[in-house]
Structure 1
Amino acid sequence: MTAAAPRRPRILAIAEAANPDWVSVPLVGWSLAHSLRAVAEVHLVTQVRNRAAILAAGYVEGRDFTAIDSEALARPAYRLADRLRGDAGKGWTILQAANALSYPYFEHLVWRRFGDALRAGEYDIVHRITPLSPTVQSPLAPRLAKIGVPFVLGPLNGGVPWPEGYEAARRAEREWLAPLRAAYKLLPGRRATLTHASAILAGSRHTASEMPARCADKVLWLPENGIAPERFSRRAQPGQGRPLRVAFVGRLVPYKGCDMLIDAARPLIEAGQVALDIVGDGPEMDRLRGMAGELGSGVLFHGWQPHARVQDILAGADLLGFPSIREFGGGVVLEAMALGLPPLVVDYAGPGELVDDAVGFTIPCLPPDALVPALRAALGEIVAQPFSLRAKGAAAAARVEAHFTWQAKAAQVARVYEWVLQGAPRPAPDLFADDPVAGARPA
């Protein structure tokens, strides 16, 4: 007699931000929750603003997902934060502070809607996917502990300290609350959230390092960004000609470092050895155009582009130049790697955790007056030895395929579910570990 297949775990996936049509956190929330359907029975709980996009994606409301209307608090909190920020795309810490104040109401409504089902054992695990910010507490955690339902939290990420020498960039980004961010550890509810979590997924090693020692045995490293292979079907052929084409993709804001890339590449552009493709828009556009004015066609500003066009530009480049000095995740780095394009990044925070010598190039996180020469030297070495680009690009694509597709991430989270529910061996926090069930903690 053939043994029956084991029952798939029933997951109540809470992703307040989950939207297939948006970018950043909402796209992460949607992508991870959706990918988990391959390994579990998943019911998605999200905020009502995402309802139309999720219906358009083919989900059936009530069966596949539930939209929670928390606008009574969410809308005024966002409006207040938006006024305090003063400029779209800036003041991220202010926005997170507002979300931290309004989000508990969302979980209150989730409990009101699903409390009876949870008490009746209709779900095996509650997994809070978003918010990603570790400053946002979960009042559901102690309630679930009382009824014996495991709670998985994360991936959590954010709050990477501003590096030395970038105070001007911090002020330009209106990150006035950043120096006070550590105060979130004193907020009521943080201890209960972490104590009652069965597993905590840290999206970065920095976030893992912020977890209390008492939680160390349940912290796992899972970078939040992932790749949908069907959206990255092209393949770059780096190192094939001159000049070396270096692509930058991102918002044109101070901390992304596009100005430092232009400064660093200037003599190489003037010598005809390097050309820059800058994809993106933002408040720095006019200043950056002024910096590059005398460089002519050596610097092309493409502005905002749809995804397919961004992929075309990256596939035609030799190198991703991305000297951002404060990047939590580094989604664009993974996107370039998926196309076989090696990245050149600052060895700090998210990009520094994704890139090593096997797949790309890193430079130390230095103040601007030292980082620009280091970036220039790295570009000069790459120009002199372009033959290394193809091998690094191939290794980058292979790494993404093995560890950073959404399918791979779903399999990684499935091991977490098995650990929480069945006492399986603790998954390895390091995604590059050879042993998928090794017990080593993140470095």
Structure 2
Amino acid sequence: MTRPRVLAIAEAANPEWVSVPLVGWSLATALREVAEVHIVTQIRNRDAFLRAGLTEGVDFTSIDSEALARPLWALGERLRMGQGKGWTTLQLINALSYPWFEHLVWRQFGEAIRAGRYDIVHRITPLSPTISSSLSAKCARAGVPFVLGPLNGGVPWPAGFDAERRREREYLSYLRSAYKALPGRTATLRHSAAILAGSRHTMGELPGFARAKTVYLPENAIDPARFSRIATPAPDGPLRAAFVGRLVPYKGPDMLIEAAAPLLRAGRLHLDLVGDGPMMPALRAQADALGVAAHITFHGWLEHAHVQDVLATCHLFAFPSIREFGGGVVLEAMALAVPPLIVDYAGPGELVTASRGVKVPLGSRAEIIAGFAAALQNLSQDRAALAAMGQAGRAWVLEQATWAAKAGQVRAVYDALLAKAPLPKVFAA
């Protein structure tokens, strides 16, 4: 079968970073195994692409939009006052700067698109559904299918967590739904030939005409080369559980310590906390006050490649975050056969089933702590169940949630568009 020629727009794509840039890089490069792909990215990613062995002008093109992007980014950093907070503010800044990037993309590739030198144009990043695309209408006029996504984001803050919301400086999130009225959003969705929704929440926010051409495809996957080990926790001794993430309020590391305190004091549990952030001093003080500091290892920030070294020693991944869009770290734990214990909400709640992990219902802070405490108590007494969930999770990830599998799922969307056939339901839970 002829491989489709794809122009992959990935403004944020970088193999040396995490979060959205790593998703952009991973999906764009995985697609090169199933299609003839030329990647278009922002110039800040150029050196990382070259270090990864790609050839500029052949495998990728870097677009220099820094004249506008750099000062707007600096403004965004000032508005969010650093520390990785104010995500909604950053998305507003991206919405202001990104159209110039697409303008430059069309300036460089518009003639080739109109001439039919690409079968598909696929905008992979930005992932945010709040950022429209002028390319969708231009590609539609040129008769070239435009694929949008995976789109994800905007998960509402749960009731009862307004304090955490304010501590994250998410003031603009109170107005977030206003993005649906922004100029260009409806046109972007209408002119897209297919939309990939990275979460069921994002799919639910789309208007009916857009949902009809939307495929549910969670944004995250894992690279088996990066997460190649299988967990081999000690068969006896205390249960070992890990938390991986920024130490910020909505991730809930303080809730985990409180929930785990009885088992920690009894010597039946050891916690490995991987990550750093503004809560670190408070978490250390909390551990001291509860008398559990001797049973918690604060690893601090670790290189992404070394996270699996900690996870591979654990029986359980304990992650009480109450607002995760994708939940990539949950997949990474499952890839190592470490079953997750999570809050049943948003990204993690969509990735975990009863056969491959444990979900605590979303509720108040006190209810989540109580739910985690009960789950930890039960799991500490049933390591056979933990091992079975770990193996089931690993098998599912390797079948459905590697980047190679994801590329095959996206290729099925391309093939349906080019054959003018119904879009497939490519992701199996």
TM over 0.5: yes
Name 2:308's counterpart in structure 1. 311
How far the C-alpha of 1:425 sits from its partner, in A, is: 4.3
Give the CA deviation at 1:396: 0.5
Code of the aligned partner of 1:55: L
Deviation at 1:307, TM superposition (A): 2.8
1:371 to 368, 373, 388: 368
Residue 210 (str. 1) matches residue 224 (str. 2): no
1:272 paired residue among 253, 267, 270: 267
Q: Which moved more, 1:379-388 or 1:41-50?
A: 379-388
Provide the residue aligned with 1:91 in structure 2.
86
Residue 394 in 1 paired to residue 391 in 2? yes
Which of residues 2, 21, 24 is equivalent to 1:26? 21
Q: Deviations over 1:121-147 (max 9, x none)?
A: 100010000000000000111111111
Q: Whole-Å Cα distance in 1 between the matches of residues 145 and 134 of structure 2? A: 14
2:412/2:426 contact within 8 Å kept: no
TM-aligned CA deviation for residue 88 of structure 1: 2.5
Question: What are the equivalent positions in structure 2 for 1:133-144 lying under 5 Å apart?
Answer: 133-144=128-139
2:406: which partner in 1?
Answer: 409
Which TM-score applies when normalising by structure 2? 0.98
Measured after TM superposition, the shift of residue 431 of structure 1 is 2.2
Q: Secondary structure at the match of 1:129?
A: strand
Aligned twin of 2:249: 254
| Deviations, residues 333-380 of structure 1 (Å, cap 9, x unaligned) | 000000000000000000000001100100001110211111101111
Query: Counterpart of 1:67?
Result: 62
Distance in 1 (alpha carbons) for counterparts of 2:296 and 2:132? 45
**RMSD of aligned Cα (Å):** 1.0
Counterpart in 1 of 2:74?
A: 79
Q: 1:56 aligns with which of 43, 47, 51?
A: 51
Q: Distance in 1 between matches of 2:376 and 2:161?
A: 22
Matched residue SS, 2:317: strand
CA contact (8 A) 1:246 1:317 kept: yes
Percent identical pairs in the alignment equals: 62
1:361 matched residue in structure 2: 358
What's the counterpart of residue 230 of structure 2? 235
TM-score (norm 1): 0.95
Q: Distance in 2 between matches of 1:202 and 1:431?
A: 14
**Which whole-Å CA distance do the structure 2 matches of 1:242 and 1:177 have between them?**
47
Corresponding position of 1:168: 163
Instruction: Please say which of residues 239-248 and 407-416 is displaced more in the overlay.
Output: 239-248
Aligned ranges 1:153-192 → 2 under 5 Å: 153-192=148-187
How many residues matched? 427
- Helix, strand or coil for the counterpart of 1:177? helix
1:310 CA drift (Å): 1.4
CA distance in structure 2 between the aligned counterparts of 1:287 and 1:354, rounded to whole angstroms: 31
Tell me the equivalent position of 2:322.
Answer: 325
SS across alignment from 2:377: helix
Q: Which residue of 2 aligns with 1:37?
A: 32
Mapped pair 1:422 → 2:402? no
Corresponding residue of 1:343: 340
Does residue 291 of structure 1 match 2:307?
Answer: no
Unmatched runs of 5 consecutive residues or more in structure 2: none
CA shift for structure 1 position 191: 0.5
1:334 aligns with 2:328: no
Q: Which amino acid aligns with 2:420?
A: G
Which runs of structure 1 show a deviation greater than 3 angstroms over 4 or more consecutive aligned residues? none
Secondary structure class of the residue paired with 1:201: strand
Alpha-carbon separation, structure 2, partners of 1:305 and 1:319: 19
Partner SS, residue 122 of structure 2:
strand
2:119 counterpart residue number: 124
CA distance in 2, matches of 1:237, 1:305: 20
By how many angstroms is 1:426 displaced?
2.3
Distance 1:367 1:191 in 2: 36
SS of the residue 1:14 aligns to:
strand
Amino acid at match of 2:221: G
Cα deviation, residue 239, structure 1: 7.4
Deviation per CA, 1:241-283: give whole Å up to 9, x if none: 2210010000000000000000000011111111100000000
Please, which runs of 5 or more residues in structure 1 have no aligned partner? 1-5, 433-443
Take 1:48 and 1:306, find their aligned partners in 2: how far apart are those partners? 24
Q: Is the 8 A contact 2:409 2:427 kept in 1?
A: no
Superposed CA deviations along residues 23-56 of structure 1, whole A, max 9, x for unmatched, are 1000000000000001100000000000000011
| Structure 1, 240-249 or 201-210: larger mean CA deviation | 240-249
Worse overlay, 384-393 or 109-118: 384-393
**Distance in 2 between the 1:260 and 1:301 partners?**
16
